[in-house]
Amino acid sequence: MKIGPWFCSLFGIKKRSFYVGELYFTITKESPYYRSGGDVLNNVHFEFLGLYFASRLKKRETKKGFRRDQKLIKVFESTCGVKVGNYQVKDNSGNSYDDWTLPDAVTTPISNRFVGTLDDCYWLLEQSVVVCSDFSSAGYSLKNNSWIGWSHRAKASFKKGDRLFDQTYKPVESDYTEEEWTKYSIAYQKSLDSAVDELDRKWIIEDGIAHVIPFRQRGPKIIETNQEAKQAAINFSKYVS
């Protein structure tokens, strides 16, 4: 089911994009996580009875491409310490070609490291994430006062009091309080009991209790400094890349 822009206006649904366009609302069984030309997901508002209730944006197209909100982009650049423009893609040998230019790319201004595309990066502005110049998949969130690491697959935040993320770490009971370990043990057993099939159960067993422990609690060391929180975010980004 597709509902026109009036519905989005009536319920105050806001545009989550750097592009100018028209919002509309959909109710569908199919996954809304797709792009079709200038038609992109704006937000999944909730799921109910196997249905996705989502808003989408139909970008406004011009002869030069999709129209961008330049004022918002300038706010994005100054807030997150990035620049928006074309990015020259290179192969493993450092070679590049004219048709390898990626438009509407987000990069670090000095090191020219690729962060993502405008379609991928709106959440950085929402969280006021200042992107690292030396590692472009991690940054400091001014909104949440935490370091965030991310990839196209996942994101996680870290701050003092969390654990320095280590992908090789195997959780042991002595590293956690009795209350924490009991909570994780119960959650792990529930995961095993609710496995959808034998393959799913096999993966859960291979992960062990780490399967139910939040990323910010996976590691032998408690984060004590800002630098350690940054390193945890970088470690996580590498893990999910």
Give the model's pLDDT for residue 77. Answer: 97
Q: Is residue 107 part of a domain?
A: yes
Q: What is the pLDDT of residue 16?
A: 95
Q: What's the distance, CA 206 to chain centroid?
A: 25
Residue 40 covered by a domain: yes
Q: What is the pLDDT of residue 64?
A: 83
In this structure, is residue 160 part of a structural domain?
Answer: no
Look at residues 21, 40, 62 and tell me which one is the last residue of a structural domain: 62
Which pLDDT score, from 0 to 100, does residue 154 have?
A: 93
Q: How far apart are CA 74 and CA 112, in angstroms?
A: 17
Asked if the structure places residue 48 within a domain, the reply is: yes
Q: Same structural domain for residues 16 and 48?
A: yes
List, run by run, the mean pLDDT of 10-residue segments along the chain (241 residues). Answer: 92 95 95 90 94 96 91 97 89 67 91 92 97 95 97 95 95 94 95 90 92 95 96 96 89
pLDDT at 39: 94
pLDDT at 90: 74
Total domains in the chain come to 2
Q: What pLDDT is recorded for position 14?
A: 95
- CA–CA separation, 161 vs 97, rounded Å? 47
**How confident is the model at residue 94, as a pLDDT?**
64
Q: Are 137 and 131 in contact (CB under 8 A)?
A: no
What residue type is assigned to position 82 of the chain? V
Look at residues 17, 35, 62 and tell me which one is the last residue of a structural domain.
62
Q: How many Å apart are CA 66 and CA 20, to the nearest integer?
A: 8
Look at residues 47, 62, 77 and tell me which one is the last residue of a structural domain.
Answer: 62
3-state DSSP assignment of residue 57: strand
Specify the pTM.
0.87
Same-domain pairing of 57 and 106: no
| Domain of 30, in residue numbers | 2-62
Report the pLDDT value the prediction gives residue 96, as an integer from 0 to 100.
64
Q: CA dist 240 to 120, 129, 235, Å?
A: 16, 19, 9
Q: Contact at 8 Å (CB) between 117 and 203?
A: no
Q: CA 214 to CA 136: how far, in whole Å?
A: 23
Are 42 and 81 members of one domain? no
Residue 212 domain-assigned?
Answer: no
- Say how far apart CA 129 and CA 155 lie, in whole Å: 12
Q: Cα angle at 181 between 175 and 184, to 5 degrees? A: 125
d(CA 70, CA 82): 14
Within a domain: 114:
yes
